[in-house]
Structure 1
Amino acid sequence: MKICIISFDYWNYDHHIVSKLQEKGVDASHINMGAYRYKNFGERFRNALSKIFLNKNIKHIKRQQYVLDSLAKLGPQDKILVLNPHNLDYETIKQIKSYTPYLISYLYDNLERFPVKDRLDLFDKIYSFEDKDVNKYGFEKITNYNYLSEQPLQCDTIENDLFYITSYDKRRIKFLRRLASRLSTMNIKSKIIVVGKQVWKEKIKQLSSNKLLNRYIQLRKTPIYIDEVLTEYRKNRVILDLMRDGQEGLSFRIFEAMALEKKIITDNPSILNYDFYDPQNILYIDKDLEILNESFFHTPYKRISIELYRKYTLDSWLEKVFDLEQTLDEKKITLYSS
């Protein structure tokens, strides 16, 4: 069985799908649009001029050609999964579809953020983690997944009570200032990191703000890779999870916390409706931070059942998205019959 994953793997999550498929004996490949690079400075410069004067992104065009060239080398596929197709034009997806009888998409962002409704008719099956899009467009609901382990991972080394890392975002920054103020009144040791090219704006504000609050929020321009983030998660009791505007689905943080047996503080109200929700492990905070108390940090994590844990693993995700168990069984029957 041949399966191809096509994505722009921003955070290096998607390669886990391919690795797990390969473990199951599937001939799986990954076409990562993010792997395309400018050949030289001249090409970068020409694209910059093209975007300014022609409103045409040559890199966007070449990335799509990279996908089609890679697919041509791989040949026909039994199934192709496109993760968030907003980086692909209609005609490109149409050509991708010619390589498979079954084209799937998983939308781990809402259609409000990435409006791709004009391309979705090309897909045979569409999965989404957003309830509002599922209800409005008839997509099939699926969450993100725990890619870390089939069994919970534990860590004895604890350095902080609370950890959070995020890209620069005005709404989150505003919330983090309030959170820092609240933490300053509590006996809680935290580590909060904001990453992005625009953190200089916040640094300017910090020059004239309360120095007590500044020590709670670290600002850095350079990115932090996922392995380093997971190391930080392991050394903390609680992980903070804040939504993007318009988001309802659960982020990967929720499942990373599940794998590492870490508590979660989140402003995502949808988490209250999930079967793994337990107030001992998960604290939902809205605008009122008074609900934030020291006892949540110091009470132990309550382990969930192994059946519930397995429900959110990558294995279970793959079985649902690719109907994998049934497909592999059919293949075995065919081989046996022949």
Structure 2
Amino acid sequence: MSSGRMRYAPTSKLFIYSMSTLYVVSPPLEIFEGLKPELRQRIVTLPDFLRYPAGRIKGITRSLLVGRIPLPKQILYYWFPKEHFDRLVRAQAGDAILIYEACNVRVLRAIRPYLPKGVPCYIYYCNPVETTFRRPAEELKAIRALGYRLTSFDPCEAERYGMACTGQYFRYPDRQPGGITSDCFFCGLPKDRAALLHDLRTRLEAEALTCDFVIPRTPAEKLTYPQYLDRLSRTRCVIDICQQGQTGLTRRPLEALFYGKKLLTNNPQIASYDFYRPQNVFILGKDPADSLRAFIESPIAEVPEPVRAAYDVNGWIRHYLP
């Protein structure tokens, strides 16, 4: 057992005492706020300081140098802020590191020599790697060879690329949903599903169902996550349209589960999950199209609390806690 030691948590501005610490780079903070105090005190969250830097000179020099040749830590500070980079460098035996969506092999190669030996460093992919990497098999193999432990939300991708599957997760809402203002709600980038979303909205409105679709095409049209959850809390049914080739859960099914909403999805794999109830989930292409309105207007079936709790962030984070 590792000895206890003092830790400084930048999110709380307080010194805390813990046996071990998980350093998490670029987590969804709104969801991590749902962590219980005893877990939150063991976690240090850091911003996405490994992302492509702002500024033309920094971008060009990073592309030319980082990960191509060994660089001293003092040089890496030019691209990776010292205050955040050093938090990882100072991790001790018994700690662990978790990085969200790291996909730049050269960046991961450049920082790897400075991450403490004996401290496991996980990477969690919460989006399909087929859309994250140009050459997923080759690049994931290179990242694994550097000593990173790869994990995924998608069981099929995890098996295909030799990653551990830790699944998808959410958190319990802070408050009860507001009054209902729409029958169906979708929010997301168009990606490869614009035509499908257009046809689906036309079909829903033909059934006299009110639709709240937010498909931003400019930054000004995007919702913050709290705004998104507020809109979601005011609908009867959440729409989940997966990208091509995706089989793992997006976060939308779990948002629907925790907020007590119906779900309309094109992911047939959802029927294999323990929270699936035909009264709550309508699968496009499988369930009868002429029953869509009746589905949305029918009562929702209760899902046992232990089933829902299994998808809470407090359980999910234990995959990575040292």
Q: How does 1:163-202 map to 2 (within 5 A)?
A: 163-169=185-191, 171-197=192-218
CA distances 1:62-119 after superposition (whole Å, capped 9, x unpaired): 7994266523146124110111211462323413532652122212123322233111
Q: How does 1:223-238 map to 2 (within 5 A)?
A: 223-238=222-237
Mapped pair 1:86 → 2:103? yes
CA distances 1:258-315 after superposition (whole Å, capped 9, x unpaired): 1110111011121111111111001110399835621011111112001101111111
1:37 and 1:240 map into 2 onto residues whose CA distance is 32
Change (3 A) 1:45 1:141: closer
Q: How does 1:63-78 map to 2 (within 5 A)?
A: 65-66=79-80, 69-73=83-87, 75-77=90-92, 78=95
SS at match of 1:85: coil
Amino acid at match of 1:86: C
Note the C-alpha offset of 1:137: 3.2
Amino acid at match of 1:318: I
Change (3 A) 1:189 1:110: closer
1:14 and 1:102 map into 2 onto residues whose CA distance is 22
Which has more helix, going by share of residues? 1
Percent identity, aligned pairs only, is 20
Q: How does 1:136-215 map to 2 (within 5 A)?
A: 136-149=160-173, 154-155=176-177, 157-169=179-191, 171-197=192-218
**TM-score, length-normalised on structure 1?**
0.73
1:15 and 1:122 map into 2 onto residues whose CA distance is 31
Q: How does 1:1-338 map to 2 (within 5 A)?
A: 1-7=20-26, 13-14=28-29, 16-17=31-32, 20=35, 23-24=38-39, 26-33=41-48, 44-46=55-57, 50=60, 65-66=79-80, 69-73=83-87, 75-77=90-92, 78-87=95-104, 89-95=107-113, 97-98=115-116, 101-113=119-131, 114=133, 115=136, 116-117=139-140, 118-123=142-147, 125-149=149-173, 154-155=176-177, 157-169=179-191, 171-197=192-218, 221-286=220-285, 290-291=289-290, 293-322=292-321
1:241 and 1:82 map into 2 onto residues whose CA distance is 26
Mark the runs of 5 or more structure 1 residues left unpaired by the alignment: 198-219, 328-338
SS at match of 2:188: strand
Note the C-alpha offset of 1:231: 0.6
Note the C-alpha offset of 1:184: 3.2
Displacement over 4 Å in runs of 4+: 34-38, 45-48, 54-58, 61-64
1:314 and 1:107 map into 2 onto residues whose CA distance is 16
Give the CA RMSD over aligned residues. 3.3
Change (3 A) 1:98 1:250: same
Change (3 A) 1:242 1:133: same
2:245 and 2:46 map into 1 onto residues whose CA distance is 29
- 8 Å CA contact 1:128–1:140 kept in 2: the answer is yes
Change (3 A) 1:124 1:47: closer
Residues 84-93 or 112-121, more deviating: 84-93
Mark the runs of 5 or more structure 2 residues left unpaired by the alignment: 1-19, 67-74
1:22 and 1:267 map into 2 onto residues whose CA distance is 37
Change (3 A) 1:275 1:254: same
**TM-score, length-normalised on structure 2?**
0.76
Change (3 A) 1:94 1:73: closer
Amino acid at match of 1:108: C
